[in-house]
Amino acid sequence: MTGLAGYADHDATALADLVRRKAVSPGELLDEALARVERLNPKLNAVVHLAPDKARAAIAAGLPGGPFTGVPFLLKDLGCEAVDFPTHMGSEIFRDYRWTVDSEMYLRLKRAGLVVFGRTCSPELGIGPTTEAAVYGGPTRNPWNLNHTSGGSSGGAGAAVAARIVPAAHGSDGGGSVRIPASSCGLFGLKPTRARLPDGPLSGEGWGGMAIDGFLTRSVRDTASLLDATHGSDLGAPYWAPPVAGPYAQGIKSPPPRLKIAFSTRSPLGTPTHPECAAAVEKTARLLAGLGHKVFEGESRIDIVALMRAWAKVVACGTALSVRSRAAALKREPRQGELEGVTLGAVEYAKSVSGADYLESINTAHRIGREAARAFLAYDLWLTPTLAEPPAEIGRFKPVNTDFLDYRLGATGVLPYSPFTALANATGQPAMSVPLHWTPDDLPVGVHFTGRFGEDDVLLKLAAQLEQAAPWSERRPEVASR
């Protein structure tokens, strides 16, 4: 890398190494990231709340010596509370909301040496597989094709990383919100085991334990090192994830054992998936067999509709709580245009959910988690497409439908498009989307692996093996090549 000419070719780990060797300074990397925002964000609408002064002050004060010292980084505009970085949470009613405390996740990212300089767009309160929140003035677009969505709810993060604005970014996942953008943008995305990452101090869990933070990266080693830097419960956490055997970044240097991997190209709804998504799984199954793993077709017996009805009740209640809390702080009800249709629908639907209904939904998720755990006695990993189709066109899932159940579960709703990812949120299992396929018109199609509870290391080892066997980092969208 001469000067910053090779910025887009380096992952976060490589950029940090250049900083350590004094081949480049943190300030130069920040300048490059900001220049890329200026050039690309008008096309993508991925980055908000730029605060270069805060980033430069952190550099001037002396960055911590961590695995990513000097690397520019972006937070999702939802969660990861940070005093220096306000949020819209994808919503007009939360516009420029300021936190009074730093989250433990943000503090750990800072201790890793990352230079945070802004946030990335999210759908309103994290609802939806697309990022088209009105508060940002327009949709977030996919760098591979500007007419398609970058996914949701970490769609801004996916677009920013795929476009090489930053090598990695923070995200979160309550029903696929890291893995859907990873699939849509040709990135690696891991949803860790429930409680693997801290949620405090402002909350003990998100969406009944279904939501967790995560990262969008171009390399497996970046995700492994980010997980090493941030994993572990925070003070007062209501529950812990199983202990980690050793550093993830070290573990991926050795291949996984011979794994039993069941796969399916069919949706758990019993319907076929798009031919390109089926082809991605079949190609991956052949690759896995060639690597020595035992691969065989399986069939999901999980009642995904029952699960998603339970999930919808939990999410609707969580959304209603956020809106109610904001209304109480403002001492008024939301005004016309301050909430989008889907959010209004969620709040209205939540009124019909009793306390007993909510607890029944939690119990349904836990029951299905036990069913899934028993299924995993027969295999180590479950392989499917990440999405049932390639990335949707902008506008298809625009959040205007006020019938929340129809938006989520209807025949033209989210569930037929994304029937695979939410299961791992309900069960708490780790799951990942790996970028191993592109359509003939160059749209990314991810493949999805779910692992046993607590075995994040197995997923990361396999991902590193696949990355070596079928490298993807050299592929980049045209918008990032100019």
Alpha carbon separation from 324 to 67, 98, 433 (Å, rounded): 40, 17, 34
Catalytic residue, chosen from 76, 110, 398, 461, is 76
The H or E element spanning position 334 is none
219 is catalytic: no
Report the SS3 class of residue 346. helix
Q: Are 346 and 457 in contact (CB under 8 A)?
A: no
Burial profile 202-235: b = 16 or more Cβ within 10 angstroms, e = fewer: eeebbbbbbbbbbbbbbbbbbbbbbbbbbbbbbe
Q: What is the DSSP letter of 65?
A: -
- The structure tokens 């390109």 sit at 276
Tell which residue, 110, 189, 143, has the closest CA to residue 44. Answer: 143
Other C-beta atoms closer than 10 Å to the C-beta of 4 total 17
Give the tokens for residue 266.
């069919």
Question: How many CA atoms does the CB half-sphere of 199 hold within 13 Å?
Answer: 24
331 is catalytic: no
Question: How many CA atoms does the CB half-sphere of 239 hold within 13 Å?
Answer: 10
Phi, psi of 302 (to 5 degrees): -75, 135
183 is catalytic: no
Q: Which amino acid is at 13?
A: T
Give the tokens for residue 390.
């390639």
Q: What is the DSSP letter of 282?
A: H
Q: Where are the alpha helices (DSSP H) in 186-333?
A: 220-230, 248-251, 275-290, 304-330
Catalytic residue, chosen from 91, 103, 150, 153, is 153
Catalytic residue, chosen from 177, 184, 219, 264, is 177
Question: Catalytic positions, please?
Answer: 76, 153, 177
